[in-house]
Amino acid sequence: MPPMSQSDQLFEALPEDPPSTAGEARRSALVRTGILPSQAIRALIAAGEIAAAPEIDDGQIQPASLDLRLGKVAYRIRASFLPGTKATVREKLTALTFHEIDLTKGAVLEAGCVYLVPLIERLKLRSTIAGFANPKSSTGRLDVFTRLIGDHQDSFDAVEEGYAGPLFAEVCPRTFSIKVRYGSRLNQIRFRRRVSQQIDADDHPGRVGDRHLRAIHSDVGLVEGEAAIREGLKLRISLAPIPPSGLVGYRARRYAGVVDIDQVGAYDIDQFWEKVRLGDDRRLVLDPHDFYILASKESVSVPPAYVAEMAPFDPLIGEYRVHYAGFFDPGFGYAEGKAPGAKAVLEVRSLDIPFIVEDGQIVGRLVYDKLTDVPETLYGQGIGSHYQAQGLKLSKHFRQE
């Protein structure tokens, strides 16, 4: 057996459940603490802990997450809300609904409006498994604000251990109106498992600390060159012109047309986006409430045994947001023996005042989590991954130049 890497040694002390007596491969993925990979998600489906009618399609299962599908109706609501610990979503919905929209034949969700959509999938989780959600990458790059809501929950995008009940998506298109339909996929859910003795002691079981993150970087390289690590992997913004076009990013056009969320490569970039080019100073003034697509200066890598997440904006570094806290699947930008190969695309919005960003400025951080097992298939390995080896890239809906 080859010697254990420095990064793997740091996880040897994690407590585990007793080993499987049956030796079942799919059940072994549920033994350790951390994020569940695709084979463990399939085991949850087989056990009835994730249920849906119609049944879950294999294409919904990603390396470490499950795509969620919109149901048959959407409710235009007055305002965003949380049910709180004493109510269900539907109990609160009655007082907030303006009207009901049929999604079976497709419908347009207007920019600036808030909608609530029951999802096809529902959960009946065991007591050691929780769920947490984010918009899919393509959803975030369209500036569609999407959050998961569950009954008796007092936070967005999370359901507690042992949750049993329906799921809902709050959808608010902020720049482009979008066309969706029954079965469209706007957000995705991951499942985090922790052993029983950790439930009251650790809010983020499997979260990779800075010492371990440095060891991973030493082993396989999370970025090219030196990694800036403090409470995660620091990322810098790139405002260097991309030759030969001189492009540094895109700014969304206001009052553009409708984007069909299920169409790939269907739209001309210029109809929806202005190209951003800069002078020699490499500074960009973010206009309030405009939406930009930019990229990180670093190419990043997520090794097979890990997942990563872009942490939400930090008000201490400026009044702007750089990402909708999206998932980075195991294998993103990773190729064994090669340098990291994919930029982090940044969805940037200044909040209330103009704000200047400069080339190389730190704008966010990636936090890494340990998987319970390496997924059967990694991101980019023949599963139709749209953003592997990406640079500056718009969502899949636009024709790439």
The CA distance from 301 to 294, in Å, is: 18
Q: How confident is the model at residue 14 (pLDDT cuts 50, 70, 90)?
A: very low
The more confident residue out of 382 and 368 is: 368
Query: What is the per-residue pLDDT for 324?
Result: 62
Q: Which residue has the higher pLDDT, 307 or 379?
A: 307
Q: What percent of the chain has pLDDT over 90?
A: 66
Q: Where do the domains of the chain lie?
A: 26-198, 210-370
E strand or H helix that includes residue 9? helix 6-9
Residue in this structure with the two tokens 């890598």, named with its chain if needed = 301
Give the pLDDT of residue 149: 97
Taking the alpha carbons at both ends of the chain, their separation in whole angstroms is: 48
User: How far is residue 307's CA from residue 65's CA, in Å, rounded to a whole number?
Assistant: 10
Average pLDDT estimate for 311-318: 62
- Residues 136-171: tens digit of each pLDDT: 989 999 999 999 999 999 999 999 999 999 999 999
Is the previous residue joined to 330 through a cis bond, with omega within 30 degrees of 0? Answer: no
Residue 138: name the closest of 349, 352, 400, 395 by CA. 395
Query: What are the pLDDT digits (tens) for 61-70?
Result: 999 999 999 9
pLDDT of residue 202: 52
Per-residue pLDDT tens over the stretch 262-294:
999 999 999 999 999 998 889 999 998 899 999
Q: Do the domains at 26-198 and 210-370 have one common CATH topology?
A: yes
CATH topology of domain 26-198: Deoxyuridine 5'-Triphosphate Nucleotidohydrolase; Chain A (2.70.40)
Residue 41's H or E segment, with its range, is helix 38-46
Supply the pTM of this predicted model.
0.87
Q: Which CATH architecture has domain 210-370?
A: Distorted Sandwich (2.70)
Written as one string, the DSSP assignment of 245-314 is TTEEEEEEPTT---EETT-SS-B-HHHHEEEEE--TT-EEEE-BT-EEEEEEEEEE---TTEEEEEPPP-
Q: What share of the chain is helix, strand, coil (3-state, %, to 5)?
A: 10, 35, 50
Q: Is the pLDDT of residue 23 over 60?
A: no
In the DSSP assignment, the letter for residue 40 is H
219-271 tens-digit pLDDT: 999 998 899 999 999 999 999 998 888 999 999 998 899 999 999 999 999 99
pLDDT value at 380 more than 80: no
- Asked whether 250 and 383 are in contact (CB, 8 A), the reply is no
pLDDT (mean) for 338-353? 85
Q: How confident is the model at residue 200 (pLDDT cuts 50, 70, 90)?
A: very low
